Amino acid sequence: MTYDTYRAWRDIAEVRPLDLSVVIPAYNEKDRLVPTIGAFAAHLANHDLAWELIVSDDGSTDSTRDLVSLLDHANVWFLGADANAGKGAAVRKGAVAAAGKMILFADADCSTPAAELDRLMAELEDGADVVVGSRAGEAQVEHRSPLRRLLTAGLRAIVGTFLGVPVQDTQCGFKLFTAGAARTLFGAQTVDGFSFDLELLYLAGRSGMRVVEVPVRWYDAPGSKVDAGKEIVRFLGSIARIRLNSLKGVYANV
């Protein structure tokens, strides 16, 4: 990376067709967002890509918006929200606004390092429609509690049994889509909460898309806003909703 490359991305609005959009959902992320933006900017300065970064807010009540405004980066966009609608709603809003040929959804805490994007892009280049960063298999996972590991294993079994989704880790916040796949999947999305990824992957399988799961490095970053107990209940509710939607024909056009 050279500073000049980063400075050009920071100061000059991209006029080329965009290769990549990075969508970061944010809810009260004033303490973690700027380092994450910096991590992507530093890594992608090594690539000859035209790219943008979209901060898709979910009704933050802290200074998240002000921080993005103070950065004043030419290729960083802030999508505001009047109220908290859920992580899935924020990601969908960002994906719909994205102009890149590839669209990455990444969590604001940068638990998966930006450098892992290279492995996901290689799979898209090889013909995948959706590439899932995964904490399963050979992934390098650090500081994950035994209880969280146990719960994750149980949820994987439930997903496979009741939805037939073959992906081992549906919930890692690091997924890459072709623009076409993103339009189809986010256009049919109905789950706005934490388990929206599960619905997207179910729809991808239903529509015959090629989904590839790639083990990534992952670090359980401090400051998580996820209440594991509540999200497990919501996760199970989302599975029931997806099954019901399927029976009712909600996904008939996917």
Q: What is the pLDDT of residue 146?
A: 56
List the beta bridge partners of residue 52.
21
Percent of the chain with pLDDT over 90: 76
Asked if pLDDT for residue 160 goes beyond 60, the answer is yes
| CA neighbours closer than 13 Å in the CB half-sphere of residue 177 | 27
User: For residue 220, what pLDDT band results from cuts at 50, 70 and 90?
Assistant: confident
What's the CA gap between 56 and 3, in Å, rounded? 27
Condensed to tens digits (0 to 9), the pLDDT of residues 57-93 reads: 999 999 999 999 999 999 999 999 999 999 999 999 9
Q: Is the pLDDT of residue 226 over 60?
A: no
State in Å, rounded, how far the first CA of the chain is from the last one: 41
Nearest to 241 by CA among 163, 145, 173, 178: 163
120-131 burial, b for 16+ CB within 10 Å, e for fewer? bbebbeeebbbb
160 contacts: CB under 8 Å, gap ≥ 6: 166
What is the pLDDT at residue 230?
73
Higher pLDDT, 94 or 220: 94
Instruction: Decide: helix, strand or coil at residue 172.
Output: coil
Average pLDDT (118-128) is 98
Calpha distance 236→102 (Å, rounded) = 30
Q: What residue spans define the domains of the chain?
A: 3-248
Confidence check: pLDDT of 235 > 90: no
At 152, is the pLDDT very low, low, confident or very high (cuts 50, 70, 90)? low
Cα(43)–Cα(36) distance, integer angstroms: 11
Whether residue 222 has pLDDT greater than 90: no
Predicted pLDDT at 144? 54
CA 196-202-203 angle, 5° bins: 90
Q: What does pLDDT average to over the chain? A: 90
Task: Kindly report the pTM of this predicted structure.
Answer: 0.91
Question: pLDDT, tens digit, for every residue of 9-67?
Answer: 999 999 999 999 999 999 999 999 999 999 999 999 999 999 999 999 999 999 999 99
CATH class of the domain defined by 3-248? alpha beta
